[in-house]
Amino acid sequence: MIGRLVIFVVFVALCLPAAALRSEDRAVAHANSIRKGEITYSEGYFGEGGNRLHYVEAGKGPLVILYHGFPSFWYSWFGQMEELKGRYRVVAVDGLGAGLSAKPESLVAYRVEKLAEQTDRLARHLNGKRRFTLIGHDWGAALAFAYAQAYPKRLNAVIGMSAPPYNLFLETLRTSKEQQSRSSYMQFFRSVTLDEIRSRNMGEQIWRQSYGALLERGDLNKDEGELFRAALADPLAINGGMNWYRANIPPISEIREDTFWPRANPKIKVPTLLIWGDSDRTFVPEFMEQMSGYSSDMQIVRLPGINHWTSIERSERASKEIAMFLKSKTGSMRKTQSN
């Protein structure tokens, strides 16, 4: 009888999908070990195969989805999740190609329009037809703004940190010599191969460049630094991040009218917040002058002394700005939950 039971257990284990056998995300365990209050963090998956997304959530209430940039994973939002989880259902996604989400080889999957479709399916899976709030950082911000332009009836509000809308970035890249200089690394990202990522140990290099200063300043502790290090240790995760550039940033000479998505300059029709660290050198700040032309309900918050990592560097500052912005929109959010 025992022998048959052992055989049955082994058979079931072999038949289960890999994700079902995976132990809890180390970052989830860490989040729960240092969280404030009784509200805990749990993880989930949505989609299949090359479309599968891993996400972490906490709290109840109106849905807020958080989408990180490169090079990162869901834990970059921990500070904001701690701030918001008492009033909202906060869901931080491992973006496609990152963390425990799928890392497809096809560049088509990483196109902004495909990522927006995937985000919409995830939101419907989590929230039905009800509206939600979308927050993004870096590439996640470019995606969040693009989603707001393409799916205006799906959102209560949109928040972008440290990056312009995708189409505004392309226009800035096409017309600004200074932005071309600042973005020269993107062409390298487009050309580097997976074999080169492995042979150069690029995950370690990028981790040091991205998170070394945050560790030195105490914005991340040693354990958190190791979580980010582990997330970037997989060459496929680095390659997945590069795929965002390969799929969406053409050579400057090839940026044409049909390159923009959803169009060259569509309006954002929901309340919009841009959070910007005034020490950030990734994008030319002149783009902010054009943001008012993209939204009639636009707020811009500049964080003095903060660099590109607005979600992590003194994270309480961005967290409080987000909380105040959402609180000011709470009335309209609750009225539109059933729309």
pLDDT score for 331: 56
Per residue in 148-168, pLDDT tens?
999 999 999 999 999 999 999
Cα gap 53→55, rounded to integer Å: 6
Kindly provide the residue ranges of all beta strands, DSSP E only, lying in the chain, ordered along the sequence.
42-46, 53-58, 63-67, 89-94, 132-137, 155-161, 272-277, 298-303
pLDDT score for 146: 98
Per residue in 191-216, pLDDT tens?
999 999 999 999 999 999 999 999 99
User: By C-alpha distance, which of 144, 133, 143 is closest to 337?
Assistant: 133
- Full DSSP string of 217-252: HTSS-HHHHHHHHHHHHSHHHHHHHHHHHHHH---G
Statement: residue 13 has pLDDT above 80: no
pLDDT score for 140: 98
Give me the domains of the chain, ranges plus CATH numbers: 6-170+259-332 (3.40.50.1820)
Cα gap 313→220, rounded to integer Å: 8
Pairing of strands 298-303, 272-277: parallel
Per residue in 230-262, pLDDT tens?
999 999 999 999 999 999 999 999 999 899 999
Pairing of strands 132-137, 63-67: parallel
For the chain, what percent of residues have pLDDT higher than 90?
85
pTM assigned to the model: 0.91
pLDDT score for 292: 83
Cα gap 45→154, rounded to integer Å: 21
Cβ contact 283:163 at 8 Å: yes
Average pLDDT, the chain: 91
pLDDT score for 333: 53
Given pLDDT bands bounded at 50, 70 and 90, which one contains residue 293? confident
Name the more confident of 266 and 16: 266
Statement: residue 9 has pLDDT above 60: no
Average pLDDT rounded to a whole number, residues 175-187: 95
pLDDT score for 251: 93
Cα gap 143→165, rounded to integer Å: 7
User: By C-alpha distance, which of 167, 139, 166, 174 is closest to 254?
Assistant: 174
Given pLDDT bands bounded at 50, 70 and 90, which one contains residue 338? very low
Per residue in 71-118, pLDDT tens?
999 999 999 999 999 999 999 999 999 999 999 999 999 999 999 999
Statement: residue 7 has pLDDT above 60: no
Per residue in 216-231, pLDDT tens?
999 999 999 999 999 9
Helix (H, G, I), strand (E, B) or coil at 206: helix
pLDDT score for 27: 98
